[in-house]
Structure 1
């Protein structure tokens, strides 16, 4: 099957009408859109970046502005009975996220509002007596009832831009609150209001100005509104699955399972009942399957701005927490934060680095959704462990290749280079647990999936990792100052043999390595490898 005979992928297309006119694949979510838009409502939705929020906003804009003109043969065509069309104002607050002062932000906000509300009658005049909000309110008061639709994308962009400056954050918040107050004072004019973003800041009195805004971010009803379900991938991208399987010389079922392991697993509903693929990553894979399972979601834009700003004045939990089970209160996800009390776990969940795994009462268990994000998260921790250096800058380039092709001596030397670059002031190696955790993060950041404390009937090994046809098994010991390292090495070797670590892997190319790390010298000083 030739690629030029396939229907085009909607890669990078955030305009619904452009997508439809170009004949690109549209995963039909219009039954959800009907449920959203059929009633007079004010709605709020958060999702991580690259999940299609802007396309959703564009789809709503087209529906209200042009009716069913671009919805031929979609589900909503038989559901939508509203024959009216509406004035639509669409605001993208990412346009005004770059500013250095409250006054500069005020000018940008004023300019954006004046420009976008001008077609519905706002004629802004610079005045010391009447603010932009006053003039906007007067304009809205003249509009017919239920005549206007307001769509706001990336509402939180100005707030996250000043997240590490509490004073500026509060000033920006107040100016935004004044805008929302003008909307509240004239809510009769609005047929529909829809607001999207990445994070939730509604406890900062921004949305308190809007009565009865419904947050559908954790609603099971809309858990698959954005992202692709398994059934949707198989239905809408069947030809691309066939083509990709042919290119990578793999059976379709096995390829789909690998795609799910790499790019699926995001869950956004409080029942933890539904999972979706990250659209950006999946579409990029289908565009170029020869490149393999690249980490598209992380590489496409790096850390979201909210996380970058947070990390400038905070740190994530200790990298030793990387592989541990994490919990957060449902209130942290469904409520909101101010910059003084942002929860790192809540923030990572909202930005997509963690996702809902299960919910018990008021406790939400979260974890990494897939391999792509697990790697991205490890890379964040590596930045902290190595004081801003990458693995390559620390002399540990091509870790996967080394594990696949080199012997134990090369691996130990590589680990020693990493531990020589470790930020020991903030992240000292204290014991076997921290040593093991740091190695886990190093390997995970290279795209591997190490297993920590792998159980068998006789005990549990410290760390195992597969690289190509090889499986490496590491048993770690830590030597305190003056402690006999030779004795510790013998103990590690005996432990591997007596507890039969790796015996279930003897059909693989298994390399078992006993290592002793010196707390005094901050490096591995003894090691022995054997099959």
Structure 2
């Protein structure tokens, strides 16, 4: 019987007992667990952090019981340990700091109770008694695993006062761990971002942050080799259902779901496991945007954006430059660089590391590029719908509609933009906004496509059609016709789109009128 897809399974023991596929990462897990490590790992949502925590729990609590046939089986020789596993995502949803404090202290009592901790309400506080109890433990006798440590904090990024109060409560707990770290055999903590002033990053002088360590760049996520080795039957089945070759299927998987780099040397990259597994589960549905629909809207980003705007949507397609140190340094929440936060949340990824210590950030794949465009589109439209429920979808119009229908859709979309905040003032602005809105409608247009004779403004493939657009911007309506003629001449002379292999090439020159705030003239070559 073929092994099952581990879709939505974050419990390692359950995964192994239920005959689900486990992509073997235990060689790297052994490297982390063999010593008295105190380790932090940041990764975006839906990358398997909880499964990793569960794997450590099984290893320390039950030994090799669930690791038969895996790389670590011939490496691990340690004894069993009591394990405390804390999932701070369970501490979300409390309206007041008082409720959070009560829930947190109750959670600590419940979690340490199986190991012998008993809270006496007639005495000192929970934390004080936990501190005293921890001091009685033998050296290197306890394993503590914390998942999503920052969940209670990110929920309050829009509220300075509550953020600081919750941070102070967590800091007291981390200070106890620091003062009693001698009892720790192993400490491992995950999150999305690194907040300073929580005591954890300053308290443990030897806390290892492996988030950008090249050795562990593939600890979470799947490499292409791992996908081919572990999911071969599912790949074959998917190719058959989609009536494509397996190589074409792999190329599409790479385009949509690969490209995440968590490596300060930019030498390794991985696929988003959640997206790959969802696609392989129902390949007949095509390459959908699974990450954004489920984990791609992390609280850490959405709450942050309440008080911090995205960059200008016109800059959507521009590569970003950031110091590597800014990606790897704990910051106070009000000092976090937006590009660093976007990288930690998975929207941007390291594509290149320059000699001067800067990293080039880009969108890792089509799925994320579309997700980011949707955020920018939301910013442009400010609550107005990109596509109306009663009207045709933009993609459908471009796939089979007339040119005038496409221009009409463009004009309706442009009309929806918050014009006071985002005026269209030149050709590049016009092109950039349409690019964002088309991507927000699940297409992936390309801008400034080069050939031997020049570069087109915007091209997009949809269905069997290849669209080429040459934009012109008229400050006055008296310029419209001459600009239209210039655009047509450029399309003809530079042979834009002629390299296309699709059945139908549609090349359009169109002019945006600043006075009328819409496209007022267009013509096909």
TM-score range (shorter-chain normalised) is over 0.9
8 Å Cα contact 2:464/2:502 also seen in 1: no
Match of 2:249 in 1: 255
- Could you say which residue in structure 1 is the equivalent of 2:388? 393
C-alpha distance after superposition, 1:365-411 (max 9, x if no partner): 11111111111111111101111233223977422221111121010
Question: How far, CA to CA, are the matches of 1:43 and 1:513 in structure 2?
Answer: 56
Corresponding residue to 2:70 among 74, 86, 90: 74
What residue number does 1:416 align with?
411
Displacement of 1:454: 1.4
User: Given the alignment, which residue of 428, 437, 441 partners 2:436?
Assistant: 441
Q: CA deviation at 1:185?
A: 1.1
From 234, 241, 244, the counterpart of 1:240: 234
Paired position in structure 2 for 1:124: 119
Question: Would you say the 8 A contact 1:180–1:210 is kept in 2?
Answer: no
Is contact 2:171-2:198 (8 Å) kept? no
1:325 offset after TM fit, Å?
1.1
**Contact 2:170/2:198 (8 A) holds in 1:** no
Match of 2:447 in 1: 452
1:91 aligns to what? 86
Report deviation, 1:453.
Answer: 1.1
Q: Distance in 1 between matches of 2:241 and 2:417?
A: 41
Confirm whether residue 158 of structure 1 aligns to residue 148 of structure 2: no
- From 197, 214, 221, give the equivalent of 1:220: 214
**Further displaced range: 485-494 or 187-196:** 485-494
Contact map agreement 1:50 1:278 (CA 8 A) in 2: yes
* Aligned residue number for residue 52 of structure 2: 56
CA contact (8 A) 2:85 2:145 kept: yes
Distance 1:445 1:120 in 2: 51
Asked if the contact 1:285/1:294 (under 8 Å) is kept, the reply is yes
Native 8 Å contact 1:395 1:418 kept in 2: no
| 1:372–1:397 CA distance, 2 compared to 1 (3 A) | farther
For structure 2, list consecutive stretches of 5 or more residues without a partner in the other structure: none
Of 343, 353, 372 in structure 1, the residue corresponding to residue 337 of structure 2 is: 343
Q: Using the alignment, how far apart are the partners of 1:396 and 1:79 within structure 2?
A: 61
C-alpha RMSD over aligned residues: 1.6
Matches of 2:130 and 2:345, distance apart in 1: 33
Equivalent positions of 1:100-499 (< 5 A) are 100-126=95-121, 130-202=124-196, 205-361=199-355, 362-393=357-388, 397-481=392-476, 483-499=478-494
Indicate the larger mover: 240-249 or 43-52. 240-249
**CA deviation string 1:320-343 (max 9, x = no partner):** 111111111111111022221121
Give distance in 1, aligned partners of 2:411 and 2:194.
42
Length-normalised TM-score, structure 1 = 0.96
Question: Is the 8 Å Cα contact of residues 397 and 405 (structure 2) preserved in structure 1?
Answer: yes
Q: Give CA deviations for 1:475-500 in whole Å, capped at 9, x if unaligned.
A: 11111145421222122112222333
Q: Distance in 2 between matches of 1:395 and 1:208?
A: 55
Query: Which moves more between the two structures, 321-330 or 335-344?
Result: 335-344
Q: Which secondary structure state, in structure 2, belongs to the residue aligned with residue 413 of structure 1? A: helix
Stretches of structure 1 lacking an aligned partner (at least 5 in a row): none
Given that residues 159 and 172 in structure 1 are in contact (C-alpha distance below 8 angstroms), is that contact kept between their aligned partners in structure 2? yes
**Paired residue for 2:20?**
24
Q: Show CA shifts across 1:35-76 (max 9, x none).
A: 010000100000011000000000000000011111111110
Inter-partner Cα distance in structure 2 for 1:114 and 1:30: 31
More moved, 457-466 vs 303-312: 457-466
Question: Contact 1:224 / 1:275 at 8 angstroms: preserved in 2?
Answer: yes
- Alpha carbons 1:395, 1:417 under 8 Å: kept: no
Distance 1:103 1:287 in 2: 43
Does structure 1 retain, via aligned residues, the 8 Å contact 2:40–2:211? yes
State how far apart, in whole Å, the 1-side matches of 2:76 and 2:323 are: 38
Query: What is the distance in 2 between the residues matched to 1:276 and 1:229?
Result: 5
Q: Aligned-pair distance for 1:507? A: 6.9
* Structure 2 contact 468–507 (Cα < 8 Å) conserved: yes
Out of 508-517 and 179-188, give the one that drifted further: 508-517
Normalised to the residue count of structure 2, the TM-score between the two structures is 0.97
The match for 2:8 is 12
**Structure-2 residue corresponding to 1:36:** 32
1:418-445 per-position Cα deviation (integer Å, ceiling 9, x unaligned) = 0110011221111111100011111112
Please state how far the C-alpha of 1:506 moved relative to its aligned partner.
Answer: 7.8
Conserved? CA contact 1:166–1:339, under 8 Å: no
Displaced runs of 4+ in structure 1, greater than 3 A?
Answer: 202-206, 393-397, 505-508
Report the number of matched residues.
524
Cα distance in 2 for partners of 1:381, 1:113 equals: 40
Q: Distance in 2 between matches of 1:430 and 1:215?
A: 45
